[in-house]
Amino acid sequence: MQYLGDHSCQDSSTHSGVDICFARIHEIAGVAAKGTPETIYCALIQDFSRSIPLKQLLPYAPSCQCLYTNTVPILVGKLVFTYLHSITRGIVTHLYTALLFTWTDYKTIFFPITAFACATAPVHSIRNLVDGWIWLWAHQLLCNVSNQANGSEDAMNKPWRPLPSGRITQSQIKVLRWVVVLACILLSTLNGADMVLVSLALTAVTTVYDEFGLSGHPFGKNACALGGYMAIELGTTKIMGRELDTVSKSAVVISGLLILTTIHAQDFADVEADAASGRVTFPIYAPRLSRLVTLTTAVAWSLGLSWYWKIGPTFEWMFIAMGTAIGLRYFFYRTRKADQLSYILFNVWLMAAHVLPLNARNGPLAC
């Protein structure tokens, strides 16, 4: 091994280890400028030395006091690894933030609509299934970011969400909201002009819901939920199945009406937080009537959907019993903890309701 130059690093009385190491790096750069093999390494070192703090680079420097010619590739490799590691960590952090935005709606949006689209489309191919998942998740994120842009009610009942937990600021979430809208529109362009219209329709619904106060209106909220669910169901079903036939279209309409008349079931557990933020949901507007309506609609939809999709007696009675039990539970058990469990059970029933159109395809539920 040979030193690059005649300078010695033994005298460190007037220079720190960092100063010595980077003095040697710049000396290597001077040699490299004359055409030696270290050119590319030196260029990288100089680039990383500008972008990474010295205190992060020092642990990766060679243990000896001087930089030898054959240590340069090792140093550069470690610097590249550190740089890529920081990028990867940033990506993971952003993905985790996106997961927190969407976490509570996997049971209400992602899984029920996936079940609905798979049963209704039906799925054309594995690629269509994956494309549908990506499109669905992106548009769920669109709704979640828009809905959480205020965050006042989340500070009380969901403090782990990105805004109240401090993972993102108010100004950042406002920018992110429209970045996600643009990303969803660009994603929809890959699937045709009609899908772009679906994305624009969903954007309009979320804007009306969050910017014009309908999120705090006892009936306006349900109407926006109708539009939002129908838009996402149409888009996901079309991507997974490529075309919308009579069964698909009728299933989307029926699902929209189902959501319109039952979506208030999600508000019972959040009454305190909604009231504190000034929102007037159906359970706040009419506490007793809203529970009676939940019981009535759960039983009525269980009977009606069983008849419309012509499912067999075994599945019919199972589905009706499930809907009736959930409706009765909402009516008689009224604590916040009970409402949280009731809502989980409600989503199981909702997913079952979304699978029923499968019977119109090949009759698997006819027994």
| DSSP string covering 142-208 | HHHHHHTSS-TTHHHH-TTSHHHHTSS-HHHHHHHHHHHHHHHHHHHHTT-HHHHHHHHHHHHHHHH
Q: Which residue, among 52, 55, 3, has the nearest Cα to 28 in the 3D structure?
A: 3
Q: State the Cα–Cα distance between residues 144 and 138, nearest whole angstrom.
A: 10
206 neighbors 147 (Cβ within 8 angstroms): yes
pTM greater than the 0.75 cutoff: no
Mean pLDDT rounded to a whole number for the chain: 81
pLDDT, tens only, 124-158: 889 999 999 999 999 999 999 998 887 666 777 78
Scan for tokens 């033994």, then name that residue. Answer: 10
120 neighbors 247 (Cβ within 8 angstroms): yes
Q: Which CATH number fits domain 94-362: 1.10.1060, 1.10.10, 1.10.600, 3.40.50?
A: 1.10.600
Cα dihedral 255/256/261/262 (nearest 10): 60
pLDDT, tens only, 20-73: 444 544 454 444 444 444 444 455 455 545 544 544 544 444 444 444 444 556
**One-character DSSP codes across 272-312:** HHHHHTT---HHHH-HHHHHHHHHHHHHHHHHHHHHHTT--
356 neighbors 303 (Cβ within 8 angstroms): no
239 neighbors 195 (Cβ within 8 angstroms): yes
**Per mean pLDDT, which range of 60-74, 175-189, 241-255, 347-361 is the poorest?**
60-74
Instruction: Report the 10 Å Cβ neighbour count for 74.
Output: 14
Give me the residue spans of the domains in the chain: 17-67, 94-362
pLDDT, tens only, 223-267: 999 999 999 999 999 999 878 889 999 999 999 999 999 999 999
What contacts 158, CB < 8 A, 6 or more positions away? Answer: 104, 164
